[in-house]
Structure 1
């Protein structure tokens, strides 16, 4: 599975993860420090639930932390992948309602994590456009640059024909 489409010249974020709303964090496995050096973002035990849409050895979380792994491409999704996005968002929303902290992460914390974090916000009652705007304001204007993902959020998760 491709971690990131090579046709994009998008710099890594300047922080490992960003708080989108109280308790909901979005991020990646890599970030760029102030000197321009790419650094690993390693989750330990600072979150109650980590949802990884891409995994890398050595990036955590701590074994005691609940870790959901749902590998997704940064492109059109299959019906099963759409179901996995929706289930991940429902799980995250449930954890947030219970007062737990949640990190949703992918490689850089822009698209795949943005899709699940935005859908989590929708599950919590946000309008899709407001959810997208909040993510771009809190994480990066580059977040949800994948127009296919924006369409999933704004028009609904229509399942592809089998």
Structure 2
């Protein structure tokens, strides 16, 4: 099994990483010793799991609050950007309430990075600080989708409006 992604980024070294207290970011597989990949299966380690990619058998446990919204790792439509904002609001509320939140996608770099960064913005961080924290605590390869970083620095509410102006969107 390959340990490098199509975009040249190495697979993550951990199933998930804590970005700020109570807010974790991860994927569905990670690199293990010996160069192989292991599944990042979630049980009940978290109070809330937000999944932006779905694969059967990766959890979480049935009693864990789980939000599934599949997102592409590419240009997003206005309704997808709105969903990112709603998921980030839910995650920010949970973190403020002392709950443990995992946001995950396939590799744990871009889609989860977008939601985690927007969660951090909702919690009061700047977009630049959010991106910095994610890259520092998850991986320097996190948020390597430049469009997602543009969405964040523009502001997701503004990006949502702009992407709705043209059939292909101004930012997408």
Q: TM-score, normalised on structure 2?
A: 0.89
Q: What residue is the counterpart of 1:79 in the other structure?
A: 78
Computed over aligned residues only, the root mean square deviation of the Cα atoms, in angstroms, reads 1.0
Q: What do the CA deviations read for 1:2-51 (whole angstroms, capped 9, x no partner)? A: xxxx7412221011000001100000001010111111000000000000
Match of 1:3 in 2: none
**Following superposition of structure 1 onto structure 2, how do residues 145-160 of structure 1 map, counting pairs within 5 Å?**
145-157=144-156, 158-159=159-160, 160=163
Question: What's the counterpart of residue 94 of structure 1?
Answer: 93
Q: CA separation in 1, counterparts of 2:73 and 2:139?
A: 17
Segments of 5+ residues of structure 2 without an aligned counterpart are: 168-172
Match of 1:25 in 2: 24
Structure 2 Cα separation of the partners of residues 8 and 138 of structure 1: 20
CA contact (8 A) 1:14 1:34 kept: no
Taking the aligned partners of 2:121 and 2:50, their CA distance within structure 1 comes to 17
**Equivalent residue, structure 2, for 1:46:** 45
Match of 2:170 in 1: none
Q: What's the secondary structure of 1:100's corresponding residue?
A: coil
Separation in 2 of the partners of 1:11 and 1:135? 16
**Alignment: residue pair count:** 157
Q: Which runs of 4+ in 1 moved over 6 A?
A: none
Match of 1:35 in 2: 34
- State the SS of the aligned residue for 1:55: coil
Displacement of 1:59 in angstroms is: 0.2
**Other-structure match for 2:141:** 142
What's the offset of the Cα at 1:156?
1.2
Separation (CA, whole Å) in 2 of partners of 1:12 and 1:59: 17
The alpha-carbon deviation at position 103 of structure 1 amounts to: 0.1
Query: 1:60: which partner in 2?
Result: 59
Q: Secondary structure at the match of 2:76?
A: coil
